Amino acid sequence: MNLIETQIESQTVYRGAFIDVFQDVVHLPNGQTANRIVVRHPGAACVLAITAEQQAVLVRQWRYPTGTALLELPAGKLDIKGEDPKNCALRELAEETPYTAENAVLLQTFYTAPGFCDEKMYLYYAENIVKNSQLNADDDEILECVLMNKDEVRHAIQNGEIQDAKTLIGLQYWLNQAA
């Protein structure tokens, strides 16, 4: 079955520091046309880091669009066009937490909100983490580092304390690994 939608025209609605918004008209496979709002995003990386004591390294930060503080895996957008997502994941871990990692292994890639946004998230697993970061969070990021063992994570998920999709994906990976 042909599912491809073909762009007929595109109008810029907004150009920002790291996202652009477009209103497109597309030709549908059934011959009709439709409007699509599209947010273009450079992509992002997140990192699942587990301490030697078997605790997940999370950050709590205020998320203005949701009006609440969320508990999340360390993450951030790709800062430079063509930036290696692995480097981004390692940088974000060091900026947002007291930890660094020797290496990171790609676990999964996924789209965060494909109904309107092309942001692709790269989920990494940090290897050999140590508490020795010399980096700091960005000036507009106020973060609290939170460590949780598997039981605490399970409880936090069950109670709705963890609601961020990338974090749920990463933590479910960890929880499903053999003990």
Q: Residue 141 catalytic?
A: yes
CA angle 87, 90, 91 (to 5 degrees): 85
Task: State how far the Cα of 61 lies from the Cα of 64, in Å rounded to an integer.
Answer: 9
**Helices (runs of H) and strands (runs of E) counted in the chain:** 3, 10
Bridge partners (DSSP) of residue 148 are 56
- Catalytic-role residue among 119, 141, 144, 161: 141
Which residues, at least 6 apart from 74, have a Cβ–Cβ distance to it below 8 Å? 46, 47, 49, 57, 58, 59, 89, 92, 93, 95, 96, 97
Q: Coil, strand, or helix at residue 2?
A: coil
Q: Which among 49, 64, 48 has a CA at the least distance from the CA of 142? A: 64
Q: Are residues 38 and 24 in contact, defined by beta-carbon separation less than 8 angstroms?
A: yes
Active-site amino acid positions: 141
